[in-house]
Structure 1
């Protein structure tokens, strides 16, 4: 029996009813993505791209907890201490997959039910049909582990209304279904109890017809309702100024946000802010992924990534000792170094030419 459990495939790939089905299948780890899983998903998408029997692709997560809790950060922790080559190549293929999903020529239906974090956002929120439920909890938790939003996350965050994305990134705020739709991370709301029926219907009709039958109005976004104070504070260009504005606002939610930002890696917050500002100016997802790749590789040699993962998921003391310890101590040259070109190691993606 033990053998049967251990040999369970980490990704279930299936074709039926005109659908290419991808099921992330590590439920005990909330379907956290590793390198082998990324390769399997990419290979399936490549095959189905040229398969006329496949009308649409659907990605779901096994188990009750969610689509995907992110990348396998314990593996990254051990690899970073051993030089980081494996993590670098994992990210390379993961980001190439994120771009492939964004440019996929067939409907890519992502069921963003339950927990969808980090790398889980990367395999869902770039899709053409993104469905959330009342159970959805979506986020980019990177600054809490000394890392920076990646998988095209800074591209998505930079395109939210106003400064909502900056708030989400620096505080690691969780998005509800309503928040996700308001912020452009998702498109449609379907109650979780109807997802099974929706997928059955999808195998016998078009994506548009199935959506018309099952989508319902999304709950209101609590985050969008707070955009006033969020925009006022997070429009500053330095993390220290953002925190000062949050603290001086007299708004309890803003003061709480200030403490959340101060608890994250100071270096990661400063690099994240610069990443978001650069992503806002960028012309394509591919350009942003290239920037994110430089930053991710630089994080491997930053003390905060190993320390953040240690504190959150290895030792679980939840007490990271950041270096430097405060946002006031982070200097601009240190931040700029995260964006240094990688020479032959560059990601090198280019946006596809628009068809006229």
Structure 2
């Protein structure tokens, strides 16, 4: 079925589908679940349903949300009556636009524990998703960045729509692509992960699936029917779930070339350097309009962030998710100790002048010793562990 037919059919389906309190329930039983701390937790038949419910704030992830989701996820994993977990979000602008880094930097300025607790518990949740025995479906409709990527990409199934906007833009705020970015980005193939991590390039719609970030693409108007089909499955196996998602993917997946297809050779040739300096030099030598544009983008990013990010991906490609998250937690604490994280958040998210003053200001000033300091083990009592 082509996209137009898919949308026409789904418009009829939407009229048949019941929408309760802004949440998708299809013909499932009436829910009495309420929003608490920005999250709705519910069960529909044999499915546990997590709904991020801060639409006015683009479902930005904060610590109270993490503390609601994690114990419920672990409880469902042990529950013999739960055979599937679905995570989705209220509204259609964002699945989750990221973690609440403004609150984290404000805490870091005054030595508040939030600068440690947020990353520690977020990564524990990320690891729980990545190791969950129960099949996990993330419906990433809308903006999906940073913390939203961590809530989705490590699950077995990730469903993108034409409204999905994926990016890991952390080098622009003096951070790095965390939440397991060091694990999944190097596994996208070739040097695509390096490119996405260093430039913060935005992938949209079906391209999120074509890049390997999502496993399926379904038109947003089909999501209510797809959700209904999933929760109606009686004690579903992973194969049953996969069959439903494949059916919708086949109906709706557009016949379009991957947005970066024509530049994959350029990406592999220019973004495979061992150092950021090598990557910049390769782009300068390339001299094409595309390469010049990438060079301009990289020159705006935090030099420190770019260097630690490249090292993160080089190391993370050989680590387990748990090992990678432990490494990334050490890196976050380096960012909290440094200057660029605070300056980047100020320039991009608070004052929004888009003119950060990086310190150090050049790649040359970010020595190997500086980079290594972000990866050094923490005192044992401060190290990240996969369980609370």
Same fold (TM over 0.5): yes
Inter-partner Cα distance in structure 1 for 2:245 and 2:353: 44
Inter-partner Cα distance in structure 2 for 1:332 and 1:306: 22
Q: Counterpart of 1:141?
A: 169
Deviations 1:194-229 (A, max 9, x none): 011100111112413422431133543212431111
The one of 258, 261, 266 equivalent to 1:229 is 266
Q: Counterpart of 1:319?
A: 355
Inter-partner Cα distance in structure 1 for 2:351 and 2:182: 29
Q: Counterpart of 2:145?
A: 117
Q: Counterpart of 1:128?
A: 156
Q: Counterpart of 2:302?
A: 265
Deviations 1:11-68 (A, max 9, x none): 0001112211101111111101011111111111111112222221111111121100
Q: Counterpart of 1:332?
A: 368
Give TM-score scaled by structure 2 length: 0.85
Q: Are positions 1:186 and 2:222 aligned together? A: no
Q: Is the 8 A contact 2:105 2:115 kept in 1?
A: no
**Structure 1 stretches of 5 or more lacking a match?**
1-6, 351-356
The one of 290, 304, 307 equivalent to 2:340 is 304
Aligned length: 343
Does the C-alpha gap of structure 1 residues 9 and 76 become closer, same or farther in structure 2, counting only changes over 3 Å?
closer
The one of 190, 201, 210 equivalent to 2:244 is 210
Q: Are positions 1:77 and 2:113 aligned together? A: no
Q: Are positions 1:247 and 2:290 aligned together? A: no
Deviations 1:304-332 (A, max 9, x none): 00000000111111110000112232211
Inter-partner Cα distance in structure 1 for 2:112 and 2:207: 35
Report which structure shows greater RCO (CA 8 Å, sep ≥6).
Answer: 2
Deviations 1:206-265 (A, max 9, x none): 413422431133543212431111111111111122112112213212211111111010
Per the TM alignment, residue 9 of structure 1 is displaced from its structure 2 partner at its CA by 4.0
The one of 39, 44, 58 equivalent to 2:67 is 39
The one of 303, 322, 327 equivalent to 1:291 is 327
Per the TM alignment, residue 125 of structure 1 is displaced from its structure 2 partner at its CA by 0.5
Does the C-alpha gap of structure 1 residues 9 and 290 become closer, same or farther in structure 2, counting only changes over 3 Å?
closer
Inter-partner Cα distance in structure 2 for 1:212 and 1:331: 48
Inter-partner Cα distance in structure 1 for 2:129 and 2:303: 32
Task: Please give the secondary structure, in 2, of the residue aligned with 1:276.
Answer: helix
Per the TM alignment, residue 178 of structure 1 is displaced from its structure 2 partner at its CA by 3.6
Q: Is the 8 A contact 1:179 1:224 kept in 2?
A: no
Inter-partner Cα distance in structure 1 for 2:311 and 2:370: 12
Inter-partner Cα distance in structure 1 for 2:72 and 2:311: 35
**Structure 2 stretches of 5 or more lacking a match?**
1-34, 234-239
Inter-partner Cα distance in structure 2 for 1:275 and 1:209: 35
Q: Counterpart of 1:4?
A: none
Inter-partner Cα distance in structure 2 for 1:276 and 1:106: 28
Inter-partner Cα distance in structure 2 for 1:78 and 1:212: 44
Inter-partner Cα distance in structure 2 for 1:155 and 1:39: 23
Q: Is the 8 A contact 2:93 2:163 kept in 1?
A: no
Q: Is the 8 A contact 1:178 1:220 kept in 2?
A: no
